[in-house]
C-alpha cells in the first residue's frame, strides 16, 4: 500500500530540537539509565550532556510530563514515573493514545516568531489609534485574576492572554496579519505551551505585572504612539521568555 502524502510529510519532517532531546531521554528510560522513580539530572546537566540549550531541555521535560513519563516537583526536581519504563518498553505512546498526530511547536520558537511579528503589529495598530472592545474585554479579564492556582482562573488567564495578542492584529485592519496571528494563537493553546507557561508564571505578583504590561501595550496603541507600543511588546515578550524558557 502506498504511503499517503500526510504519512510522507510526517516521515520526512525534521524533529525540533526539544523533540530530539525528548527522544534521547526516552531512550535512557528504556535502557534503565534513568530508572523508574529516579531523579533526572538537572536541566543544566542535561543541556551539557546533549549539547543543547536549557530551553530545549525544559521543553523536552514538559513534553514528557504531558505524556505522563516524568513528574516535576517544585524545589525538588524531575522524576521518572514508576510506569514509564514499562510503558515505553511495550511501545506505548501517550500521544498516540490521545490521537495527537502532530507534535506541539517549540514554545521558544513561538516566542522568537512573536518577537519578530508583534512589535510590527503593534506599530500598525497604533497607526490607526482606535479603541477595541474585545481587546479591552480581554484586558479586564486578565486584571480580575487573583488566584492563578485556581484552574478556572488559570484557564481564563491563558485564553484572555493569547486572544488579546491575537486581537492586536485585528486592530491593524489587515486580514493577512489576522490570519498569521490566528496561527500563532493556536500554538499558544497547545499543551506544551500551557505547561511551560503555567510552571513559569505561577505567582500572583507576576500575573499582575503581566496584566500591567498588556495595559501599557494597549494604551500606547490607542494613543497612536507606535514607538512605545513596539517597545512595550518587545519588553513583554522578553520577560515571558525569561520566565518560561530561561537560558
Could you tell me if 112 and 221 lie in one domain? yes
Alpha helices in the chain (DSSP H): 5-12, 17-31, 43-50, 54-66, 84-89, 94-97, 107-128, 133-143, 151-170, 175-187, 191-200, 204-222, 226-244
Could you tell me if 93 and 154 lie in one domain? no
Here the cell at position 138 is: 480581554
What is the average per-residue pLDDT within 128-135?
Answer: 98
Here the cell at position 192 is: 506544551
The CATH number covering residue 40 comes to 1.10.10.10
**Which tens digits make up the pLDDT trace of 139-154?**
999 999 988 889 899 9
pLDDT at 94: 45
Contact 80, 36 (CB under 8 A): yes
Domain presence at residue 1: no
Could you tell me if 137 and 234 lie in one domain? yes
Could you tell me if 111 and 93 lie in one domain? no
SS3 233: helix
Domain presence at residue 102: no
Here the cell at position 118 is: 508583534
Reported residue count of the chain is: 247
Say how many domains are in the chain. Answer: 2
What is the average per-residue pLDDT within 85-101?
Answer: 64
Could you tell me if 53 and 140 lie in one domain? no
- Is residue 93 over pLDDT 80? no
pLDDT at 4: 56
Measured CA to CA, the distance from residue 101 to residue 143 in angstroms comes to 36
pLDDT at 179: 98
**Domain of 179?**
107-244
**Which tens digits make up the pLDDT trace of 154-180?**
999 999 999 999 999 999 999 999 999
Read off the pLDDT band of 99 (50, 70, 90): very low
The CATH number covering residue 146 comes to 1.20.120.530
Could you tell me if 23 and 92 lie in one domain? yes
Angle at 227 (CA atoms; ends 222, 232), nearest 5 degrees: 75
Cell 478556572 appears where? 152
- Is residue 5 over pLDDT 70? no
- Is residue 35 over pLDDT 50? yes
What is the average per-residue pLDDT within 30-51?
Answer: 95
Measured CA to CA, the distance from residue 135 to residue 215 in angstroms comes to 10
CA atoms within 13 A on the CB side of 221: 31
Share of the chain above pLDDT 70, in %: 91
Could you tell me if 209 and 118 lie in one domain? yes
Could you tell me if 74 and 50 lie in one domain? yes
Amino acid at each position: 500500500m502506498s504511503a499517503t502524502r500526510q504519512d510522507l510529510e510526517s516521515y520526512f519532517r525534521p524533529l525540533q530540537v526539544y523533540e530530539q532531546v525528548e527522544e534521547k531521554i526516552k531512550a535512557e528510560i528504556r535502557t534503565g539509565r534513568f530508572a523508574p522513580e529516579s531523579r533526572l539530572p538537572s536541566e543544566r546537566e542535561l543541556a551539557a550532556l546533549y549539547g543543547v540549550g536549557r530551553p530545549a531541555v525544559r521543553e523536552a521535560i514538559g513534553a514528557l510530563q504531558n505524556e505522563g513519563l516524568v513528574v516535576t516537583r517544585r524545589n525538588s526536581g524531575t522524576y521518572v514515573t514508576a510506569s514509564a519504563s514499562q510503558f515505553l518498553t511495550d511501545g506505548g505512546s501517550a500521544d498516540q493514545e490521545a490521537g495527537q498526530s502532530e507534535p506541539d511547536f517549540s514554545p521558544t520558537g513561538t516566542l522568537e516568531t512573536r518577537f519578530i511579528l508583534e512589535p510590527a503589529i503593534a506599530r500598525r495598530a497604533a497607526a490607526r489609534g482606535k479603541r477595541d472592545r474585545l481587546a479591552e474585554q480581554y484586558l479586564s479579564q486578565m486584571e480580575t485574576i487573583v488566584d492563578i492556582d485556581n484552574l478556572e482562573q488559570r484557564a481564563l488567564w491563558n485564553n484572555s492572554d493569547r486572544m488579546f495578542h491575537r486581537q492586536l492584529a485585528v486592530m491593524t485592519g489587515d486580514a493577512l496579519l489576522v490570519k498569521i496571528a490566528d496561527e500563532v494563537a493556536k500554538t499558544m493553546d497547545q499543551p506544551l505551551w500551557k505547561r511551560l507557561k503555567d510552571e513559569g508564571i505561577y505567582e500572583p505578583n507576576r500575573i499582575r505585572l503581566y496584566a500591567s504590561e498588556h495595559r501599557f501595550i494597549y494604551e500606547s496603541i490607542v494613543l497612536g504612539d507606535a514607538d512605545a507600543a513596539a517597545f512595550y511588546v518587545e519588553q513583554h515578550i522578553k520577560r515571558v521568555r525569561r520566565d518560561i524558557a530561561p537560558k
